[in-house]
Amino acid sequence: MVLSFARIIMRLFPLPIFLCILLKQMSLVLGDVGTASSYGPPYIPTVCDGNRAEQFPPGNMFVAVNEGLWDNGAACGRRYRIRCVSGNKRPCKGGSIVVKVVDFCPRSPCPNTFLMSHDAFEAISRFHNAKIIVEYTQI
């Protein structure tokens, strides 16, 4: 009986180790996944509110969005929680930020899901000129 119990333990022992390694490699994604990069001033005029300086949230945490999120202008004022997931040379700082949509991507087609203000981008990425993979949810 003791010998067979030992065999069972030895056969099952690799399973928890395998599961730990697998879970370590996976990240839990709770929102949509897209790309982001930084864009710089001048930020005004914007498509949403023109030249109004008060359209920008505190800390300059704002973005321009691509065609997929623009929703014929209904995106103006929407807020998103954005988290850097990956990119070249490990750009992510960790944590997430909340941004406000103030503009439509000025390029067509837009190269990213989000074009982020310098301040917003630097809050989640170590490199100001990187293209990063982000997880985002509308809040």
Q: Hey, which residues does 92 pair with through a beta bridge?
A: 125
Rounded to whole angstroms, what are the CA distances from 139 to 27, 47, 49, 96, 98?
Answer: 21, 21, 21, 13, 9
H-run or E-run covering 83 = strand 79-87
Higher pLDDT, 40 or 65: 65
What does the pLDDT look like over 8-57, one tens digit per residue?
Answer: 666 666 666 665 555 555 555 579 999 999 999 999 999 999 999 999 99
Q: In this predicted model, what pLDDT tens digit does every residue of 66-92 receive, in sequence order?
A: 999 999 999 999 999 999 999 999 999
Candidates 116, 113, 111, 25; CA nearest to 124 is 116
Tokens coding 107: 């390029």
pTM of the entire predicted model: 0.78
pLDDT value for 30: 72
Looking at residue 29, what is its pLDDT? 54
Q: Which residue has the higher pLDDT, 26 or 116?
A: 116
Between 110 and 9, where is the model more confident?
110
Task: Tell me if residue 86 falls in helix, strand or coil.
Answer: strand
